[in-house]
Amino acid sequence: MAAGADTAGRPSWAARRRLSAVFWRRGWLRGTFLLLPPLAWFALLYLTALVVLLVSAFWRVDPFTTELVRDWNLDNFKTVFTEPVYRTIAFRTIGIAAAVTITDAIIAVPFAYFMARLASPRTRAALFVLVLLPLWASYLARVYAWRLILAKEGVLNWTLEQLGLPTVGIAYSNWAMWIVFSYVWLPFMILPVYAAMERIPDSYLEASTDLGAKGWRTTRSIVLPLAFPGIVAGSIFTFALTLGDYITPTLVGGASSQFIGNVVYSSVGIANNVPFAAAYAVVPLAVMGVYLLIARRLGAFEAM
């Protein structure tokens, strides 16, 4: 090709010219040309894989041969909903996801308020980067750090000892999971809440003060309602990410800290029962679907 272009410079230049004219005049051609590769990738690989997975929830695995048997049945879903173990695990997962979301909202609101309304533009930019960096710093590393902190001989107990307080044994428990999840997803909550607070016009707060509202009244009647879509936007992340996790429960959870993700993971990896795993994975998917619908009504998508 390159050699041809050198020897016959002019014709190839004209061809290139003609080609580019064709592309320029026919917008749809350029559009298709651009859209085809990413669309093909997602349609052929990802979306098909998802559909196959959801469909396989209605299949079963032969217990003797461990082969996939494609006869349609609802047995997997029946197991998911009737076995008390799976119900307990699902409720634990959803409960901790909710607790983490509330905790993060409580931590994030004053922080975001300071960032949006009190900090100077320089400080604000610095805080923004400071919140963003941990979000991207290795997730695994941050979970592991907490394993070291919460350990019996860890930083937490050492600090408590120095302060003359009794030590605690919360390593490998649901408490540990609650702390670690709240920690790793906190930036996801801060950023949208900050964005929502930044958009509140100063005049609203001035008007509220002029009308005689004290600080708390202004917070409750003006700031929180206007920041609420931001909180909901952040909660989508904190809730969804906790719901689908299995690394944190494995690393810092205890014997009775299994999450939906753990069951799904061992069903695929150890038991090789993809249909059951798929059926159980429908639970977080359905919960998130409902959650997103509610979030949309609360205006979370405009706040992102």
Partner 1 sequence: METRATRFGLWTWTVLVLLFLYAPIGIIVLYAFNSSNIQSWPIAGFSTTWFSSTWHNEEVREALVLSLKAALVATSIALVLGSAGAFAVSRFRFFGRETISFVFVLPLALPGIITGMALNSYFGFWGWQLSIWTIIVGHATFCVVIVYNNVIARLRRTSPSLVEASMDLGADGWQTFRFVTFPVISTALVSGALLAFALSFDEVIVTTFTAGAQNTLPLWIFGKIRLGQQLPQVNVVVAVIIALTIIPVYFAQRLSRESGILRRR
What is the chain's length? 304
Among 149, 227, 231, 279, binds partner 1 (CB under 8 A): 149
Which residues are CB-contacts of 206 (< 8 A; sequence separation ≥ 6)? none
Among 5, 8, 9, 23, binds partner 1 (CB under 8 A): 23
Question: Are 252 and 180 contacting, i.e. CB atoms less than 8 angstroms apart?
Answer: yes
Among 67, 72, 269, 293, binds partner 1 (CB under 8 A): 269
In this chain, which stretch among 1-9, 37-45, 71-79, 80-88 interacts with partner 1, using CB under 8 A? Answer: 37-45
**Residue 148 engages partner 1 in binding (rule: CB under 8 A):** yes
For residues 209-221, one letter each, b for 16 or more C-beta atoms within 10 angstroms of the residue's C-beta and e for the rest, the string is eeeebeeeebbee
- The per-residue DSSP string of 92-121 comes to HHHHHHHHHHHHHHHHHHHHHHIIIIIS-H
Among 90, 96, 105, 186, binds partner 1 (CB under 8 A): 186
**Residue 204 engages partner 1 in binding (rule: CB under 8 A):** no
Among 12, 142, 198, 200, binds partner 1 (CB under 8 A): 142
Among 5, 8, 26, 46, binds partner 1 (CB under 8 A): 46
Taking the least distance from each CB to partner 1, the nearer of 50 and 74 is 50
Among 49, 69, 165, 294, binds partner 1 (CB under 8 A): 49
Q: Residue 187 CB, nearest distance to partner 1 (Å)? A: 7
| CA separation, residue 135 to residues 156, 196, 296 (Å) | 23, 19, 24
Q: Residue 259 CB, nearest distance to partner 1 (Å)? A: 10
Q: How far apart are CA 168 and CA 108, in angstroms?
A: 26
**Residue 115 engages partner 1 in binding (rule: CB under 8 A):** yes
**Residue 249 engages partner 1 in binding (rule: CB under 8 A):** no
| CA separation, residue 209 to residues 111, 120, 213, 216, 260 (Å) | 22, 22, 5, 11, 48
Q: At residue 137, what is the residue type?
A: A
Taking residues 122 to 141 in sequence order and writing x for each that binds partner 1 by CB under 8 A, - otherwise, the string is: -----x-xxxxxxxxxxxxx
> 3-class SS at 69?
strand
**Residue 56 engages partner 1 in binding (rule: CB under 8 A):** yes
Using N-to-C axis directions, what is the helix angle for 274-297 and 75-82, rounded to 10°? 70
Q: How far apart are the first and last CA of the chain?
A: 48
**Residue 192 engages partner 1 in binding (rule: CB under 8 A):** yes
Among 187, 229, 249, 253, binds partner 1 (CB under 8 A): 187
Taking the least distance from each CB to partner 1, the nearer of 144 and 298 is 144
Among 37, 63, 201, 212, binds partner 1 (CB under 8 A): 37
Number of other CB atoms surrounding residue 150 within 10 Å: 22
Q: Residue 146 CB, nearest distance to partner 1 (Å)? A: 6
